[in-house]
Every structure is written in C-alpha cells, then in structure tokens.
Chains A and B, each alone.
Chain A
Amino acid sequence: MSYTINVNGQSRTVEVEGDTPLLWVLRDELDLKGSKFGCGMGLCGACTVHINGQPVRSCVTPISAVGEQPVTTIEAIGETEIGKRVQEAWLKADVMQCGYCQAGQIMSACALLEKTPQPTDKDIDAAMSGNICRCCTYPRIRAAIKDAAGLPTADTREV
C-alpha cells in the first residue's frame, strides 16, 4: 500500500505494507541509512528519530502510524541549531568508538536539549538511558551533552 510521509522536510511516497517499521522504510526504501537497526524491539535506541520533535524508536513505529507528522533523522539533524551544536560537541569530546549507536545517541541528546537546555545529570540519565552504547562511551556522551549545553564538562557527580 502507498504511504506519503514527511521526512527531513521532504514529502516521500513509498509502497510498503502498513506494519513496516519506519526504520526499514528509512533504510531500505529511502536510502537513509544513518538510523540503525540494533534490536527491533525499541530496547537499544540505535534507530532513534524525531517525530514532531519527540524522540521515537523507529524500529517499533509502523509506517501506518506516522501520517503527516514531520520526521527528522540523523541525516538532517545538523540543520537545526541544537543538532549542529551537539554534533560539534560529539567531535570535540571524541565520543565515538565503533560509532554504531551514536546516531541514536545524538538524536536523543538533541531532543533532551530542545526540552531542557541546561540538563542535570539526572536529566541526562533519564533522557539517555534508552540508548545502549555497547562500547560504553557513556562518560563522553555525558560530557558532550553538557558541552553542547554550555555547562562545565568535567564529571563532578557526587560519589
């Protein structure tokens, strides 16, 4: 069946079954491969995109549920002011190891900063705990988010 969705400011029409997850529409129909497949159950966050500015796990979001709502993916997040800042902070902190989860991490971080421009450690924990980093780059993800928010980046959590 035919679905028209709004991805990164463009209207795109695809012929797929209605239960096809948005992730696979992005990756295999629209050739937007930045969103990653990790679990297929919304457990790891590698597939995180924004729908209406909200972070959503695209691997469990059927295309039929997307409708007209604007979808933003990692490929276009750099066009937003927050997205650009977050990408730059990620590079400055050299967050990446294998890098596979980082598109999802960046999408979650951007959604956090959009809502909470000066996040606390607890805010970061809450917003980022749906995203697994198998290489365990969590300390640098935390530092990069703080840097993007203009906060001191040294890890001074109470122990």
Chain B
Amino acid sequence: MAPRDLDRAPRSRGQTEGVSRRAFITASAAVGGGLMLDLSLPLYARSSEGAMSRGPATLNAYIRIAPDNIVTLIAKNPEIGQGIKTTFPMIIAEELDVDWKNVRAESAPYDPRAYGAQFAGGSLSVPMNFEMLRRAGAAGRQMLITAAARMWNVPASELTTEPGVVVHKARNRKVTYGQLAELAARVPPPDLSKVPLKDEKDFRIIGQFIGGVDSPRIVKGEPIFGIDVSVPGMRYAVYEKCPVYGGKFVSANLDEIRKLPGVRAAFPVKGGDDLAGLLDGVAIVADKWWQANKALEKLQVKWDEGPSATHSTEGFAKAAAEIGKQPAGKTIKKDGDVDAALASAAKVVEASYEYPFIAHATLEPMNTTAHYRKDGKVEIWSPTQLPQQAMGLVTKTFGLKESDVTLHMTRVGGGFGRRLSSDFIVEAVAISKEIGEPVKLVWNRRQDLQHDIYRPGGFHFFKAGLDAQGKVVAFRDHFVTFGEDNKPGNSADMGPNEFPATFVPNLDLGLSTIPYRIPTGPLRAPQSNALAFAFQSFIDELAHAAGKDPVEFRLELLGEPRPPEVLQTRFGTQVGFDNGRMRDVVKAVAERSGWGKTQLPKGVGRGIAFYFSHQGYFAEVVQARVSPVGEVRVDKVWIVGDVGKHIINPAGGINQVAGAAIDGISAALGQKITFARGRAVQTNFHEYPLIRMSQAPQVDVHFLQTDHPTTGLGEPALPPVVPALANAIFAATGKRVRKLPIDPAELRTA
C-alpha cells in the first residue's frame, strides 16, 4: 500500500519533472523509516520577492525578521483549506524560537529555485517538509545566535534563546531578534544537516490549537481567492467545450453572439487531444462575467463529437458485467492457489460491488486570470494545487519558456485534487492570447460538473472462502476498471498491497479494463476512496458469513503484529503497512464508540471499517439509522487515527479529519456522475447533492500519537467512512449496500 499511495501523488508532467524529483525529493531512509529530505535543497536561495523586500532582513527563503520583531514566515505550498499556510510557519517558528503572536504568515510565490516542489496533494506536505522546515527555523536561530556572539564578542556556546531574544546568561543581557536581524542576515548559513534541533518534548507551538492565519480576513469577506483577482483593464470570459470529451469545433453562431450586450469577442479556440489540457472550445469575452455567461444561453455550436459519443453509464455497466464473468486480463498479485482453496473451503462467499464516477465540485468554480502580453510574456493568477504542472502545461501548450511565465498562486477555494490539473489555466491563457488583453475566465457550475477530471467508477467481482473456523483461506478480486488494454487510466489503478493481500494465504488480485475517453484523475484519497468501500464492505460480509463480530473478525484477519515491509518508492524509502498500528486504531475506535456495549433501537446500526492510505492508519465506526422508506441518516462517526508522533495543529487537523469523514458520507449518500451519449448528465447541486447541515453527523476524532514519523491527514480519514456507513446500514437493516451512491429504494421496508 505504501508505494502505491505515494505513487498516487501528483506527477509533475512535462519538463518540470526534473526539478521536482531530482533536486528536491532525493529522499533517504531516516531513523524509524520516515522520509528524510535531502538537505542539499537550496534553502538559502532567496525567493525573488523576498529579496526585493525592504526593511525586514531575510535570513533564508523562509524567514524575514523586521526591526520591530515581527517575523514573517513563508508557507511554500498552496493553501487549499488544508491549513498549510498556518502549519508550515508553526513548524519554522517552533525551531526559530519566536512567539506565535509575532509571526506573520505569507504564502510563497511560485519559485521552485528557492522552494523546491510546491504542491498540495497526496497528504505529502507534512511528511515531505516537516524535517526540512524544522531545520530552516533552527538555522535561522543559529544565525541570530552567531550574530549576537559577534556583537558581544563572546563564544556562541555561551548564548541561548528565549522566544524572540538571544540571551547571554553569564552577563545577564538580552538582545531581540529584531535588533539582530540585519547582522544575522550577513552570517554565513550553518550546515543544515548539523544544525541542532529542539528536543521534541520542548515543543511550545507544535501541538497547539492555532486558528487559520487567513481566517480573520475570510470572516470579513476580503478578496483573497482566485475568483477575486482583479487586474486593470481585465475582461471576463467563459469557455464552452464540446460536451463529449475531446470533441472538435465545427461551427457556431458567433456573429449573433458578438452582437449581445457587453460581448467584446467570441471565437473558437483550437485545442489538442490531452483531455486534461487545452481542448477545442468557444470563448466568449465580455465587459462583465454575467454578460459572457448569459451569452452562453444563445450559443449554438456544431461539434464533431468523435467516437466517445457512444459512452454511457449503462453501457459501462453492461460491459463490466460481461468482463466480470471472464478471468482478469492482468494479474496484480497472486499468492497460493485460490481455486484449490475455494474448492476445499467450508463456505464460499461471492459478491460484486460498484461505484460511480464522481466530480470534485469544489465550491469555488474553476477560474484563472491571465495576461498574455504582446512581448510574449505571460502573467497568470490562479488557484492551483500544482503550480509546476501548470507551468509545464502552459509552456508546452504555447511554446514558451518558464522564464516567460509568471505564476501567482492564490488561496484555493477547495482543491480535493481537482486543481492538480491545469485545464482551466491554459484556457485562460489561450483567451488572453487571442484578445491581447488580461482576462478572467470563470467556469459556471454546469461546466464545472460536466468537465471535471473525474474520480473514475469501478466494479469488483469478489469471491472468498472461509474454513470451518471462519478463517479466510481464499480471496479473489477481479477489478473491472477503466483504461486501455488492461492498463488502468489515471486514478483507476489498484496496487498489489491492497488489504487483505499478504494476510490471506491464497489470494488473487487481477484487473481488466473498459476502454473510455473521459478525463479522470485524483480525488481526495484517490483509488483508496473507492477501493476501501468495496474491500472493507466485502470483508464485513465475510465476518457475518463467519458468524463473527466485525471488530473481532478484523483483528483476527490483521493477525499478530509483524514487522512492516520496507519499500522503495519514488519518494524514497517508505515503511509499508504496519498491521500492529492498524490493530491499535481498530481496538481504540471500538473502545471509544462502546462497540458491542450499546443497545440500539430497531432501524439503527453500527458499522466499522479501517483503511491505510497516505501513510495514515484510520479506523472508523459509523452509527446510521434507516427509516422505513429507506432514508439514511448518520448520527455519529467515531474516528481513531494514527499519523505518527505529532498533530502539528490540532485546530486544522481535527477539522480536516472530521470533514473528510463527512465528505465521504456526502459522496456515498448521493453523488454520481452519469454519462449518456458521451456527456455528463448532472448540471448543478440539485442533481449532484452535497451533504448539508441537517444531514451532517457528530464526529468524534481521536489520534493515537505514536512514535512514528509525522505524516499527513488531508486524505486518509476519508476512505474507511464509506464502508463503515455501508456496514452500519447492513447492521440496521440486514441489507447490503453493494452499489454507490446508496439508493433509498433498495433499503425501503415500508
């Protein structure tokens, strides 16, 4: 699981790959097996904006200290609601030894020379940067101490720090960081690998409940999101693409459109074949966005829809049912002899599971402001999760050099993986290039839902055997996914470590593909968010078939703790699935929820599931009630997670974990994108419902803080909640949910 999870991390496509991998993520094994970053990272490169600032002294790319002791700390990764603009400065502040009240957080400009990989994805911000940012802060502290030692002409070893001041105890004197900053900025930077770090017991900031640094601006409605960007002389645009993915422009009533109020230009844009890149479309540019969007109502386009106009959800399901009867096209993992074990099993259980395509539906629609200047220089303001990918796609699409493009990262109104893609960015650039003026492109909600980079649907055909004692002796999954010639499409894959692989002696994981031409990609906990539903639901079926309590059955399946595998991934050495850590979270969540000790009324049930993804161990219990007409309501979710030693900021951490669980429930209760004649059917939130206040459960979040490296938590809490809900519905009704989203008609008893 470990390598697969990490391999799901966003790939920087195009020419930026060398930068992100070679120079910045040369990882090596650290004590305890965590990620340890290569400290040759160019920490001391001054960021372009930092270097130009006046007043505050720049100690390194992350630290500026002003004479008034205000410390500006840089968050290098995009802020998408995961709280990184708060978390990263907290880590630096801890080692720099300053009071949080004197810290001002700032988002970094896009500047890989100074900051290396800058992205929000894969729950990787903390594991990839925790150690490095501690060292950056400690290096700053060291430089301040050296500066004071020079000033007082005493050995640095006689000096120490208290928050914001260097202290010389022997002479009972102090000097503030603000007073020292100018001098410290001229001190040669220390060797990062040798700079002393704090004893973790002495952390004063890490582990504190600290509110989001931008929140005071958000409650006042300040314009800090991508959609709020305003540039002098800016026009507004919409961009309409063929409803069938990759369809080509033939003709349109553009003369009519050009006469509509406020419309400045209407023209076709020629695109390519990359479904996540610039596709054929029609741009309408107007004085105001509303005018451009209103003009869309009158737009009539003739498209050459191409071969995928035959795609339909029904057709996919029929194909899957046929393929599911055949042997898998490709083996993912094969242990022992499944057929022989099934033949001699005391009990054989067979079931098929299905989940739909879903959209990210970030609340801030896709948007970008771009200015393609006449001199060939391009400036972009965009809410992106992956600026390197954006830069790569822009330079490739328009034949530019990186030095021609300036990319400003704005706050992001929800990422969930959608803004790892840059389709909406190249569209804005293409429109600005055509009109020669700055333009703000904003998608409407229909375009957003119908041109997502979807979480792909999938089908699982399971067969498992239990022996007379109810032990799983054989396990088979034929995963029918989307792709070409048994090569899964983007985010449609399954790895060889999918649990219960290596925990059942005879196991066979295989896959086959249904050809498709629909853009797919990562959505919060990619693959895991779907695989967890299928596997942890089927495991629940096995528990019931074995006549065992679902918690006990899972603990038996997990077995006695054994040393985890050490795996080589493209992100360095990683520790694989640690069944001991998972046992602990399963036991803890059973305990906290009072599993098996609570009498529940008729129609109410509890389910459990666990899942390992993104290096995080999560077990969750859901209590759900099902009304006689089949309506599902989730009362409460209990979550226990183990993401290592530190919860850097419990304020954001707990919020995000609770949010991930409710997000998973939201998808399970009603979300699906269906296709007919090659196009997505759903147009807005009445057809693609997101969970609302009245449906949102209570969530009890608890962390087991273990002596393991600190890892990320934006994603791993999501996958287990979906099967825990399905299993709770089974406990409440005796009806097994094998298809998402949950259909109340299937659960109706009255």
Interface residues of A (CB under 8 A from B): 16-17, 19-21, 24, 28-29, 31-41, 43-44, 46, 73-75, 78, 87, 90-92, 94-103, 106, 124-126, 128-142, 155, 157, 159
Contacts and interface: CB of A to CB of B under 8 A. Distances in A.
B692 A103 contact: no
A98 B83 CA distance: 8
A14 to B, nearest CB: 10
Contacts of A157: 698
Interface residues of B, number: 67
Contacts of A29: 288
Interface in B401-448: 411-416, 442, 444-445
B299 interface: no
Given A138-B691, A139-B658, 13 more contacts: A36-B363, A74-B221, A78-B219, A78-B220, A90-B219, A96-B218, A97-B659, A98-B363, A99-B411, A100-B225, A130-B692, A134-B363, A135-B414
B493 to A, nearest CB: 26
Nearest to B660: A136
A28 B363 contact: no
B693 A38 contact: no
A113 B184 CA distance: 52
Nearest to B662: A136
Interface of B: 80-83, 209, 211-212, 214-216, 218-223, 225, 227-228, 230, 236, 261, 288-291, 293-294, 361-365, 411-416, 442, 444-445, 623, 635-636, 651-652, 655-656, 658-663, 666, 684-686, 690-694, 696, 698-699
Nearest to A106: B219
Given A34-B221, A157-B698, A100 B363 contact: yes
27 contacts: A17-B261, A28-B288, A33-B221, A34-B222, A37-B227, A37-B365, A37-B442, A38-B364, A38-B445, A39-B445, A39-B685, A73-B221, A78-B219, A87-B219, A87-B220, A96-B212, A97-B655, A99-B413, A100-B225, A100-B414, A106-B219, A129-B692, A131-B693, A134-B416, A136-B659, A136-B661, A157-B698
Contacts of A91: 211, 215-216, 219
Contact of A38 (B214, B363, B412): B363
B365 A99 contact: no
A38 B219 contact: no
A41 B214 CA distance: 28
Contacts of A43: 684-686
Contacts of B696: 136, 138-139, 142
A126 B49 CA distance: 47
Contacts of B215: 90-91, 94-96, 99
Given A36-B363, A99-B214, A124 B693 contact: yes
Contacts of B293: 40
A44 B685 contact: yes
Contact of A102 (B219, B636, B661): B219
Contacts of B289: 24, 28
Given A94-B212, A135-B659, A28 B290 contact: yes
Given A94-B655, A141-B693, A33 B684 contact: no
- Most chain B CB within 10 A, of A31, A99, A155, is at A99
Contact of A98 (B414, B684, B692): B414
A134 B219 contact: no
A137 B685 contact: no
A128 B694 CA distance: 8
A134 B692 CA distance: 9
Contacts of A95: 215, 655
Contacts of B651: 94
B623 A159 contact: yes
B290 A142 contact: no
A132 B685 contact: yes
